[in-house]
Amino acid sequence: MRPFERRFVCDRCEGIFIELDDFTDAIGAMEPIDVRDEGPASRACPLCWRAMRTCQLAIGKLELDEVVLYCDDHGVWFGDGSLAAVLAQFERHHHRGGGGSPAASISSIYTLLRTRRVAPRPPPVAISAYRHRDLACPVCEGDLSLNIDRWTCGHCAGTFVENFHVEAMVSDMKGRPWQLATATGERGALACPVCTDPMHVEMLERVSIDRCGEHGIWFDPLALGTALHHASAVHERPSGGVAAWLRRFF
């Protein structure tokens, strides 16, 4: 997905992920939008990677027909043409005198919300809950730099990967939502760059890594290289797919 103002759009499927308040303002709804939960969805939120909920939206007395996906923290996902269908129903309701006051015609609203495809696409932006913070390397205390989906140290070449990015890659590889298990290792000497609590020392591909159960995983260059070496060995390749996501992620 690519960012557009406060929204994220997908040029491939014509989907859009938008905050509920942003959507309400854009269509000029005079009444608050009610989210009616219909149960869990199989897809994860593209920002926090928690499972979304299926829902239907209601604007005053107007109950929208389209079933959409919703994240309590980040907003609504309109996919598979559902945005155009929602706007069309909203406009029909308005013209029949059913209430509401669209700020513009359906075509203008759709352009406002979705935007046209652009070429070339803007470069990907960093998505991190901590992108406005200064994080320090747990090994050498140098500054960590955010590079799209990971934090790297320019001094010791270590890498800190937030948990939801790891889970996103594994979920993509498996084709279904996947979550990291609870961290159970003993506390080590390295502090998490985010919360500064000692990280758990655990094993991945027969090498030791440092992991914060709340925030992410620290790979120093030696640990990462050794893990990739073991993962690439055909006779040692794990059946669970860890090797695949490690090679792809790094």
Residues 102 and 162 in one domain: no
| pLDDT-based confidence at residue 70 (cuts at 50, 70, 90) | very high
The answer to whether 25 and 11 are in contact (CB under 8 A) is: no
| pLDDT-based confidence at residue 173 (cuts at 50, 70, 90) | low
Residues 85 and 169 in one domain: no
- What tokens were used for 70? 């919703």
Report the range out of 84-93, 188-197, 229-238 with the highest average pLDDT.
Answer: 188-197
pLDDT at 221: 79
Residues 108 and 45 in one domain: yes
pLDDT top residue among 102 and 210: 210
Does some domain include residue 139?
Answer: no
Residues 102 and 174 in one domain: no
Does some domain include residue 121?
Answer: no
Residues 167 and 92 in one domain: no
Residue that is last in its domain, among 114, 129, 161: 114
Domain span at residue 174 reads: 144-249
Q: Among 47, 46, 214, 193, which residue's Cα sits nearest to residue 133?
A: 193
What average pLDDT does this structure show over 110-136? 62
pLDDT at 114: 53
Does some domain include residue 183?
Answer: yes
Does some domain include residue 239?
Answer: yes
Residues 88 and 173 in one domain: no
Does some domain include residue 28?
Answer: yes
Q: Among 22, 61, 69, 25, which residue's Cα sits nearest to residue 43?
A: 69
The strands making up 75-78's β-sheet, listed across from edge to edge, are 2-4, 7-10, 15-18, 75-78, 62-71, 51-59, 33-44
Number of domains in the chain: 2
pLDDT at 59: 87
Residues 156 and 233 in one domain: yes
Residues 35 and 75 in one domain: yes
Residue that is last in its domain, among 93, 114, 135: 114
pLDDT top residue among 225 and 9: 9
What average pLDDT does this structure show over 70-80? 88
Q: Among 104, 106, 108, 103, which residue's Cα sits nearest to residue 87?
A: 106
pLDDT top residue among 170 and 71: 71
> Which residue type, as a one-letter code, is found at position 94?
H
Does some domain include residue 19?
Answer: yes
Does some domain include residue 72?
Answer: yes
Give the whole-angstrom CA distance, residue 73 versus residue 91: 28
| pLDDT-based confidence at residue 83 (cuts at 50, 70, 90) | confident
Residues 40 and 97 in one domain: yes
pLDDT at 245: 46
Q: pLDDT per residue over 20-44, tens digit each?
A: 888 888 777 778 899 999 999 888 8
Residues 175 and 216 in one domain: yes
Residues 163 and 230 in one domain: yes
Average pLDDT value over all residues in the chain = 76
Residue that is last in its domain, among 71, 92, 114: 114
pLDDT at 118: 43
C-alpha torsion sign, points 122, 127, 133, 135: negative
Residues 107 and 10 in one domain: yes
Does some domain include residue 107?
Answer: yes
